[in-house]
Amino acid sequence: MRYDDSPPPPESAASVSPDPPWYARRSTLAVAVAALAPTALAGWVLTQVLTGSGPGGQPPQPKALPASHTAGAGAGDAKSSTTTPSPAAPASASTSASAPAAPAKGPLAGRTVVIDPGHNTGNFKHTSEIDRQVDIGTNRKECDTTGTTTNSGYMEAEFTLDVSRRTRTLLESKGAKVVFTHDADRPWGPCIDERARIGNEAKADAVVSVHADGVSAGNRGFHIILPATVKGGAADTSKIVGPSRDLGERIAGNFARSTGSVPANYLGSGTGLVVRDDLGGLNLSTRPKVFIECGNMRDAKDAAQLTSPEWRQKAAEGITNGIVGFLGG
């Protein structure tokens, strides 16, 4: 959900890319790929056989991971990877402990990605805390918001956490270090300024804030929110506007391909991309960052997708593939 209930800002020149939209560029790429497909595919298959690791991007995408690679699996991995057995430990102990963490392998090895699950399921019970105003550089805004729900009560905050966890599992399988802004490990929040700070302090190579929208029925589809150029107080997005657009376009293309969803029909002029200057999480970021609104929880058809675990896995795959493409994996 957007961080306020005001209508989206009018489309400005800044919100429309002067470049061909992502889907047009992808179409060109698809034609080129199709022309090269026979040899490229053979080479790709050979690479798979020889190295056991794919390019992580297009063309041919590996199929969805097996069901065991679902929400939560990444948490244990992350914990175990930080465990370093003491060299003085007795042999009997070291045999039962997992081996020292090997250096991460994969196209995202050495990269840090911060995932920001929008809102918090506890925010509904902590309205006084989240209503507190925080400084977003250009303005002051509420610390956080409750987010929306489907008509049947599935909370946006549940959705964002689930998609984020699935995304983490996929990113970690590609070698990335993944940092969450929260993981159901705090009663509310964090505030939007802290969410931005977590990405900055992690020196993230990419940051994605996961959301779903809550507008009237009939409005459908996904959109990516890109940072506008803003400067004021602690906010200065001049260095991230360009790379964030690249990140956003790549996620948009991959998300559409992975989920079958179309760009939002109610804003962004059908591009699936919107530029905003009023979000603290973007204004205060010094790292490439976008928000993704995965669909409209208040539309029955979109809600049917958002409440489907299988669809959420596809959403996570689309987000992951966009990040991989952006980071050149």
Residues tagged active-site: 293
Give the residue among 4, 58, 14, 64 at the shortest CA–CA distance from 36. Answer: 58
SS3 269: helix
The C-alpha atoms of residue 176 and residue 114 are separated, in whole angstroms, by 10
Q: State both tokens at 190.
A: 């964090």
Nearer to Zn ion, 179 or 212 (CB): 212
Amino acid (one-letter) located at 155: M
Structure tokens at 160: 């964002």
Residues 138-167 that bind Zn ion (CB under 5 A): 147
**From the CB of 187, what's the least distance to Zn ion, in Å?**
18
* Count of residues that bind Zn ion according to CB under 5 A: 4
Of 78 and 198, nearer to Zn ion (C-beta) is 198
Closest CB 1 distance from Zn ion, rounded Å: 4
CA quadruple 258, 280, 150, 224: dihedral, nearest 10: -20
- Nearest-Å Rg of the Cα atoms of the chain is 20
Minimum separation from the CB atom of position 106 to Zn ion (A): 30
Using CB under 5 A, which residues numbered 175 to 234 contact Zn ion?
211
The type of residue at 190 is P
Residues in contact with Zn ion, shown as a per-residue x/- string from 82 to 121 under the rule CB under 5 A = ------------------------------------x---
Residue window 47-86: x/- pattern of binding to Zn ion, with contact defined by CB under 5 A: ----------------------------------------
Nearer to Zn ion, 209 or 254 (CB): 209
Residue 210 or 327: the one with the smaller Cβ distance to Zn ion is 210
51 CB contacts (<8 Å, ≥6 apart)? none
Q: Which two tokens stand for residue 40?
A: 């490229």
Smallest separation, CB 74 to Zn ion (Å): 22
Cα distances (Å, whole numbers) of residue 212 to 7, 53, 200, 220, 274: 16, 33, 24, 11, 14
Residue ranges binding Zn ion (CB under 5 A): 1, 118, 147, 211
